[in-house]
């Protein structure tokens, strides 16, 4: 996926109710509450079990979760996590997204242009080192100090050379704990198999974030080393009978971001400033893409991937907006913060330690408010593939000239191999799609910054957004991989002498973008992090480490069980499991409720009573896509691909009554592989335990 | 304009701060604060002056404000208020929207297919009659009683036959006062002249709701009676020198809706529920229309009008959303309500009178919340012209069978001539545009109500929204005026036997739509009105009638003066007047900043120092479009066409420091008519007073 992914990192401050409710929690592997699991479910994971689960888990760089499911590098994830790869392999003649793809032999496993798999191999506590370096710092100074010490810690960790490993200092509890995570990187990733999009996204956007579902959001890829399947002795087994109602289930994966422990000021900022601009802009972009896709089949093909991600993000944000629009809940979490502050006020030592952290954050956000739209459109909103690459090239040339610790986070030495891989990608560029994206961005920029803004004037001159977009896209050579690599390798000199219109364009707006980015980093995030650290430490003093940290797209483990619920949206009772037969009932022949021919043809061979999708109480969020659902024997019982609409409030709070994770059952996967796709090679490799009733 | 216009009537309850600040106020003509004007500006309007201003003012039915500017029925309004008419007269060969239209003679004044002009001729206080009928009623019972008494009062008022007059019981102060307004209806309205859209909307959406502006948002129409220009002895004069900085200015017109005196619960509901769904949906629709318009010139032509209204509404709603997202202001108005409640609690008689009004409204809104999206998409969202007419036909057939007082408001006897005029319109139907609108609506319906909703299933069956839309539009005969009139006249029997797919479609969803509409009318608006009446009366007891009522798309008068301001969005100082020469500086040759050829050709003849647009402190809101700006001599000095971005908070509160009305100067109008459009006939008819320096 080459859309710029930006995680909103606003609001990471640890306060609020510390009581963990029932199955709530996205726990770290180094602080897993085995005692709580034992108390509720009678099973206590030991260290060997936790290590095995961790090493069998995987991350699709930048976007998703995954798992190792054989000793030969076989990785299971969602279809939508490999969608970019499958789309990139497609041509006008072969649309593998539409038709699916199943490699008959190892030789048929085609390389994904820019997919990367990570495994978390080592966790080291570096809290003391970091806190020593950041002590007494606030705002910009804190951000700078944190960047420097992080770079200094990461550098020696990259001991085997940057290309094979990735080291990251991870900020947990909003500055309360810092851990060094060392990942093994697999950069040779190949497609093994994926069903038709119609099956992987059956129900489409209308059914997204809903339950009951009938969806096979599945793909298999394989990691290679030295041109051969990588050896992955640590991997999950495969359950014979799947998971039954009320059975204990675990989910490992990399939830992207939660904001459960932010201050009230940040939540109000999210509700009043962030959610409106994100949902409105993504809605408008959705409308343009929808009509673009209606124009002809080719445009439909090339824009499907963007629309999928856009609609998914939009629906997730609408869910957040609905949660933030729950004034009763908002008042309740505001009250929890008031209670915390009262408890802090009761201890002189904590008053001294926390200082004006709350007030400083209030002030920082009030000052930031009029600049947020500027920040969003100059820095966060995706501008198409070419312009995104141009930004990477121009910024990297400047940033690489700086010491590692002084750079923007995404240009630190540890991140450069990722960028290089993206720039060297052979994924195709579609000019019509690029023009649409650039014209949209320019139009929004003029609208939001105003026609009199100097940057807007410099970019548009006497042309319309559409004219400028056409000129840039038609004139750019950045669609050529070799040219991108040349500019990357040529560094500052190559960028300075480039006349490519995309590079020239970035030079016109990058100063303005950097200025507002710096304001965000120094005056907002810097305050959030330094204030967050103080509040987090006060909370540790008051409550100990009884809770889990907010999600940070790093590996977490959640526990729960297969369970139905009562829908708050419709007031209906929802059963926890759907069955294969139900897909045939729900299908109406028209997209997005159209079963592919393979399914219709195989109908007689399929057991309609085999569980298809199911819901569990596991606490997950975006980024958990592709996560394995496994049992206490470390066997796969399912594959996470969604949460229900109620789970979107999970960004801010967890409610076991209605928050549900949604996955495909291990049994449905085997049925589909064996009976529909005839992928016997994969079934054999998964080796489900004997006694199964497939 | 044939887009369904629905005013959101949520939240009409009178509470809050009663102090009127400076030039704040959309005053009724029967309660104008002449004393305040005298105190601030040294001029006191008397009754004759007020009557003349009222009778010289006009309303474009359903959408805009206007004024009579000659004795021969000449009416001045905005271009965007007559846009539908100009667009309707256009053909593939003659695009009058693009090229403008100036009738050389009376014979060239072409009839607008469905435009109607109203003049407010009589105001009668009927408060006692209404309150007697609604006393002790709450919720549904209150709504029913109000409908019945309104119908009973309106019927005898229509003394000259329904076709020539329109009588409306107007609810002011949220149930505190009821007035019977009797309008003269002019239904033969003809286009006199309109400039090019590029000039009438110079700066386009980027400049909309902004200042400085360079815009000639102007049109002239003429009302006819018996085939001849109507005699309109009461009309505004024309100022020789326009308005200078700080000069006293009046604006009369029909502001649509404000929500300044609503309870906190309603404001929170607007922020958390209404604003998100409206801005997100209009954003998405904007995106579809934008890409539809890019496809070819014909699609651009036929969708321009819809996009204009959609973008205008979207930007206004974004402004409201931003205002509601001002947490400091929200807390301040919530505090004002708390103060009012404390004052009520201090008087036993008021406690008894107000009862549980506040709590009842809180409860009603909490119950309504999960149904609002259903209501919005089934009942409020426009579904294209054909389906809108089909709803009118199906509902009117049912409603007309009921006694007047039992009908939905928009089907009462007093409103039927309007509907008949709309159905008899000869405005063209564009199938491509219709398909887009219907497919969009069906898609949203499925998304918001869910694929399992019975109404959604009935409408979509086994087809996509696009397939259904194509089938309905291609199969419908409702594009034919005669067929619509036949079904209208044929009533229930004709509707029952109609196989027209649009009529059949309405039968599939109308029961569901009526059900949620009834819930809104009875359980939300009914409670709002009955609770509002109690709170309003308590307020009258506490403060007297020191304030003006919230806007209700009925005639109001505001006073103010020409004044610059400091922009809260950019922190810049803004001068109150722009000049004709500035338009040539701002033009960059590319839409929407492209001057038409007529202007470029006439550049040498135009005096660059003549004021073009100007800003005043007059308190206006949507619906005031086309309002005259006049001086104390009752002479036109300008024409309202916009407010600045800060004025959008005017829905909820007025701030004289930054809230500005924006208009075209009378001098620019004369210059354009004389030097650019050579419309000497109109210049002569306006007869600006001698001594002018045109």
Whole-number percent of chain B with pLDDT over 70: 95
What does the DSSP 8-state code read for residue A189? Answer: E
Cβ atoms B134, B149 nearer than 8 A: yes
A-chain residue closest to B325, CA distance: A272
| Cα A456 to Cα A446: distance, rounded to the nearest angstrom | 6
| Cα B272 to Cα A470: distance, rounded to the nearest angstrom | 39
Nearest beta carbon to residue A207 from set B283, B436, B451: B451
Per-residue confidence band for A101, with pLDDT thresholds at 50, 70 and 90: very high
pLDDT digits (tens, 9 = 90+) for A370-421: 899 999 999 999 999 999 999 999 999 999 999 988 999 899 888 898 899 8
Min Cα distance A463 → chain B (Å) is: 5
**Site of tokens 């109908």:** A603
Statement: residue B16 has pLDDT above 50:
no
Output phi, psi for A222, to 5 deg: -135, 135
Residue A100, CA atoms < 13 Å, CB-side half-sphere: 26
pLDDT at residue A689, as a whole number? 52
H/E stretch holding B134: helix B127-134
pLDDT digits (tens, 9 = 90+) for A168-199: 999 998 888 999 999 999 999 999 999 999 99
Mean pLDDT over A552-581 rounds to 90
pLDDT digits (tens, 9 = 90+) for A84-95: 889 888 887 888
**Site of tokens 């509700």:** A271
Mean pLDDT over A202-213 rounds to 90
Q: Is B424 exposed, middle or buried (0-12, 13-18, 19+ CB in 10 A)?
A: middle
Q: Both tokens of residue A420?
A: 């290089």
Min Cα distance B574 → chain A (Å) is: 13
Mean pLDDT over A536-565 rounds to 90
pLDDT at residue A541, as a whole number? 86
Mean pLDDT over A480-484 rounds to 97
Highest mean pLDDT among A206-210, B560-564, B645-649: B560-564
Q: Which residues contact A540 (CB under 8 A, 6 or more apart)?
A: A173, A176
pLDDT digits (tens, 9 = 90+) for A245-301: 999 999 999 999 888 888 899 999 999 999 999 999 999 999 999 999 999 999 998
| Cα A629 to Cα A618: distance, rounded to the nearest angstrom | 9
Cβ within 8 Å of A, B 200-229? 203, 205-207, 210
pLDDT at residue A4, as a whole number? 28
- Residue B441: its chain A contacts at CB < 8 A? none
Cβ atoms B112, B218 nearer than 8 A: no
CA torsion, ordered A520, A525, A527, A529, to nearest 10 deg: -170
Which of A571 and A679 is assigned the larger pLDDT?
Answer: A679
pLDDT digits (tens, 9 = 90+) for B649-689: 999 989 898 899 999 999 999 999 999 999 999 999 997 65
pLDDT digits (tens, 9 = 90+) for B233-273: 999 999 989 999 999 999 999 999 888 888 899 999 999 99
Q: What is the mean pLDDT of chain A?
A: 90
Nearest beta carbon to residue B286 from set A284, A318, A589: A284
pLDDT at residue B142, as a whole number? 87
* CA angle at A581 for the pair A207 and B451, rounded to the nearest 5°: 25
Mean pLDDT over A508-518 rounds to 97
Contact A590 B284 (CB under 8 A): no
pLDDT digits (tens, 9 = 90+) for B84-118: 889 888 887 898 999 999 999 999 999 997 899 99
**Site of tokens 């304001």:** A519
Q: Both tokens of residue B525?
A: 């608006």
- Residue B468: its chain A contacts at CB < 8 A? none
Residue A35, CA atoms < 13 Å, CB-side half-sphere: 2
Give me the helices (H) in A372-464, please: 372-375, 385-399, 416-423, 431-449, 454-460
Q: Both tokens of residue A594?
A: 């159209």
pLDDT at residue B610, as a whole number? 97
| Cα B7 to Cα B409: distance, rounded to the nearest angstrom | 13
Per-residue confidence band for A5, with pLDDT thresholds at 50, 70 and 90: very low
Per-residue confidence band for B76, with pLDDT thresholds at 50, 70 and 90: very high
pLDDT digits (tens, 9 = 90+) for B621-659: 999 999 999 999 999 999 999 999 889 999 998 989 889
Mean pLDDT over A469-473 rounds to 98
B-chain residue closest to A267, CA distance: B327
| Cα A316 to Cα A308: distance, rounded to the nearest angstrom | 12
- In chain B, what is the straight-line distance between the N-terminal and C-terminal CA atoms, in Å? 34
Statement: residue B4 has pLDDT above 50:
no
Cβ atoms B624, B65 nearer than 8 A: yes
Output phi, psi for B117, to 5 deg: -115, 135
Q: What is the CA radius of gyration of chain B?
A: 24
| Cα A17 to Cα B219: distance, rounded to the nearest angstrom | 61
Per-residue confidence band for A12, with pLDDT thresholds at 50, 70 and 90: very low
* Cβ atoms within 10 Å, residue B416: 19
pLDDT digits (tens, 9 = 90+) for B569-604: 666 789 999 999 999 988 888 889 999 999 999 999
pLDDT digits (tens, 9 = 90+) for A321-374: 999 999 888 998 899 999 999 999 999 999 998 999 999 999 999 999 989 999
pLDDT at residue B507, as a whole number? 97
CA torsion, ordered B571, B577, B581, B586, to nearest 10 deg: 30
A263, A283, A316, A443: best to mutate for the B interface, most B CBs within 10 A = A283
pLDDT digits (tens, 9 = 90+) for B413-463: 888 988 998 899 888 899 999 999 999 999 999 998 888 889 999 999 889
Statement: residue B1 has pLDDT above 50:
no
- Residue A572: its chain B contacts at CB < 8 A? none
SS3 A77: strand
Statement: residue B7 has pLDDT above 60:
no
pLDDT digits (tens, 9 = 90+) for B482-508: 999 999 999 999 999 999 999 999 999
Mean pLDDT over B39-49 rounds to 96
Whole-number percent of chain B with pLDDT over 90: 73
pLDDT digits (tens, 9 = 90+) for B332-384: 889 999 999 999 999 999 999 899 999 999 999 999 998 999 999 999 999 99
A–B: how many Cβ contacts below 8 A?
A: 120
Residue A573 touches partner B, C-beta closer than 8 Å? no
Contact B283 A284 (CB under 8 A): yes
* Cβ atoms within 10 Å, residue A399: 17
Of B23-37, B138-152, B279-293, B466-480, the poorest mean pLDDT is in B138-152
pLDDT at residue A472, as a whole number? 98
Contact A590 B464 (CB under 8 A): yes
* CA angle at A288 for the pair A285 and A292, rounded to the nearest 5°: 135
- Residue A450: its chain B contacts at CB < 8 A? 206, 210, 570
B-chain residue closest to A457, CA distance: B588
Residue A346 touches partner B, C-beta closer than 8 Å? no
Q: Both tokens of residue B132?
A: 């007697």
Contact A327 B268 (CB under 8 A): yes
ipTM of this complex prediction, to 2 decimal places: 0.83
| Cα B278 to Cα A374: distance, rounded to the nearest angstrom | 23
What is the pTM assigned to this prediction?
0.84
Output phi, psi for B553, to 5 deg: 50, 45
Cβ within 8 Å of A, B 318-337? 318, 321-322, 324-327
Contact B588 A461 (CB under 8 A): yes
Cβ within 8 Å of A, B 449-468? 450-451, 460-464, 466-467
Q: Which of B642, B693, B677 is closest to B319 using CA atoms?
A: B642
Per-residue confidence band for A631, with pLDDT thresholds at 50, 70 and 90: very high
Statement: residue A508 has pLDDT above 50:
yes
**Longest CA–CA separation in chain A, Å:** 73
**Site of tokens 């939300």:** B524
Q: Which of B657, B645, B630, B691 is closest to B76 using CA atoms?
A: B630
| Cα A449 to Cα A455: distance, rounded to the nearest angstrom | 9
Contact A446 B206 (CB under 8 A): yes
pLDDT at residue B88, as a whole number? 82
Q: Which residues contact B290 (CB under 8 A, 6 or more apart)?
A: A287, A288, A291, B307
Contact A288 B291 (CB under 8 A): yes
Mean pLDDT over A442-466 rounds to 91
Q: Which residues contact B248 (CB under 8 A, 6 or more apart)?
A: B37, B41, B43, B559, B560, B561, B631, B632
| Cα B217 to Cα B204: distance, rounded to the nearest angstrom | 11
Residue A295 touches partner B, C-beta closer than 8 Å? yes
Mean pLDDT over A499-504 rounds to 98
Strands B228-229 and A117-125: unpaired
Contact A290 B288 (CB under 8 A): yes
Nearest beta carbon to residue A292 from set B275, B291, B370: B291
Residue B296 touches partner A, C-beta closer than 8 Å? no
Strands B248-253 and A556-561: unpaired
CA A527 → CA A13, A79, A367, distances in Å? 10, 39, 12
Min Cα distance B132 → chain A (Å) is: 37
Residue A546 touches partner B, C-beta closer than 8 Å? no
Statement: residue A622 has pLDDT above 80:
yes
Q: What is the mean pLDDT of chain B?
A: 90
Q: Which of A361, A368, A366 is closest to A337 using CA atoms?
A: A361
Q: Which residues contact A274 (CB under 8 A, 6 or more apart)?
A: A8, A10, A372
- In chain A, what is the straight-line distance between the N-terminal and C-terminal CA atoms, in Å? 34
pLDDT digits (tens, 9 = 90+) for A119-170: 999 999 999 999 999 988 887 888 889 989 999 999 888 865 557 888 999 9
Per-residue confidence band for A17, with pLDDT thresholds at 50, 70 and 90: very low
Per-residue confidence band for B20, with pLDDT thresholds at 50, 70 and 90: very low
Contact A283 B288 (CB under 8 A): no
What DSSP string describes B29-98?
Answer: GGG--HHHHHHHHS----HHHHHHHHHTEEEETTTEEEEE-STT-EEEE-HHHHHHHHHHH--SS--HHH
Contact A466 B281 (CB under 8 A): no
């Amino acid at each position: 996926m080459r859309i710029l992914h930006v995680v909103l990192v606003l609001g990471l401050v640890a306060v609020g109710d510390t009581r963990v409710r029932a199955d709530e929690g996205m726990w770290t592997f180094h602080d897993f509450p085995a005692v709580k699991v034992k108390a509720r479910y009678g099973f206590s994971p030991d260290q060997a079990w936790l290590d095995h689960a961790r090493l069998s888990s995987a991350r699709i760089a930048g976007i998703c979760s995954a798992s190792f499911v054989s000793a030969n590098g076989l990785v299971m994830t969602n279809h939508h996590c490999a969608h970019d790869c499958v789309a990139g392999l497609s041509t006008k003649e072969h649309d593998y997204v539409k038709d699916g793809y199943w490699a008959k032999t190892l030789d048929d496993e085609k390389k994904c242009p820019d997919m990367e798999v990570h495994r978390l191999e080592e966790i080291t506590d570096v809290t003391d080192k970091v806190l020593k370096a950041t002590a007494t710092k606030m705002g910009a100074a804190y951000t700078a100090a944190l960047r420097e010490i992080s770079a200094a810690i990461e550098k020696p960790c990259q001991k085997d050379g940057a290309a094979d490993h990735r080291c990251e200092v991870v900020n947990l509890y909003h500055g309360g704990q810092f851990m060094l995570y060392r990942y093994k990187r697999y950069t040779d990733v190949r497609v093994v198999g994926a069903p038709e999009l119609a099956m992987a996204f059956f129900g489409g956007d209308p059914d997204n974030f809903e339950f009951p579902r009938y969806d096979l959001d599945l793909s298999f890829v394989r990691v290679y080393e030295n041109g051969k399947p990588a050896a992955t002795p640590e991997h999950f087994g495969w359950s014979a009978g799947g998971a039954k109602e009320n059975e204990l289930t675990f989910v490992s994966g990399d939830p992207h971001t939660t904001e459960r422990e932010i201050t009230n000021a940040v939540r109000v900022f999210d509700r009043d400033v962030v959610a409106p601009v994100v949902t409105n802009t993504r809605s408008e972009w959705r409308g343009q893409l929808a009509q673009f896709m209606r124009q002809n089949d080719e445009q439909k093909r090339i824009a499907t991937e963007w629309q999928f991600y856009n609609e998914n993000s939009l629906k997730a944000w609408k869910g957040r907006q609905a949660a933030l629009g729950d004034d009763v809940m908002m008042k309740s979490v505001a009250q929890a913060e008031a209670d915390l502050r009262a408890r802090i006020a009761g201890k002189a030592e904590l008053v001294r330690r926390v200082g004006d952290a709350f007030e400083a954050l209030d002030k920082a956000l009030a000052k930031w408010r009029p600049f947020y739209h500027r920040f969003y459109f100059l820095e966060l909103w995706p501008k198409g593939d070419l312009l995104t690459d141009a930004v990477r090239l121009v910024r990297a040339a400047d940033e690489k000239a700086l010491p590692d610790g002084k750079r923007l986070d995404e240009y630190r030495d540890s991140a450069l191999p990722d960028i290089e891989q993206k720039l060297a990608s052979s994924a195709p560029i579609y000019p019509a799609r690029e023009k649409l994206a650039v014209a949209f961005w320019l139009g929004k920029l003029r609208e939001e910054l105003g026609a009199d803004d100097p940057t807007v004037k410099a970019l548009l001159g006497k042309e319309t957004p559409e004219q400028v977009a056409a000129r840039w896209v038609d004139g750019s050579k950045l669609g050529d991989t070799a040219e991108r690599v040349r500019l990357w390798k040529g560094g500052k000199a190559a960028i300075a002498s480039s006349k490519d219109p995309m590079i020239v364009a970035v030079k016109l707006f990058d100063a303005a973008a950097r200025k507002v980015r710096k304001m965000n980093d120094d005056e907002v995030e810097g305050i959030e992090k330094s204030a967050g650290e103080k509040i987090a430490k006060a909370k540790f003093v008051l409550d100990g480490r009884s809770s889990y940290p907010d999600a940070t797209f790093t590996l977490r483990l959640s526990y729960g069980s297969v369970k139905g619920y009562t829908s708050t949206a419709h007031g209906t009772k929802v059963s926890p499991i759907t069955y294969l037969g139900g897909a045939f009932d729900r299908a109406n022949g028209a997209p997005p409720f159209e079963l592919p021919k393979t399914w219709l043809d195989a109908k007689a061979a399929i057991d309609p009573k085999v569980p298809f999708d199911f819901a569990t109480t596991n606490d997950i969020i975006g980024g958990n896509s592709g996560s394995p659902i496994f049992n206490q024997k470390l066997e796969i019982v399912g594959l996470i691909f969604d949460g229900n609409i109620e789970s979107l409030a999970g960004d801010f709070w967890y409610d076991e009554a209605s928050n549900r994770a949604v996955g495909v059952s291990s049994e449905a996967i085997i049925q589909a592989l064996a009976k529909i796709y005839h992928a016997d090679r994969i079934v054999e490799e998964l080796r489900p335990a004997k006694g199964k009733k497939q």
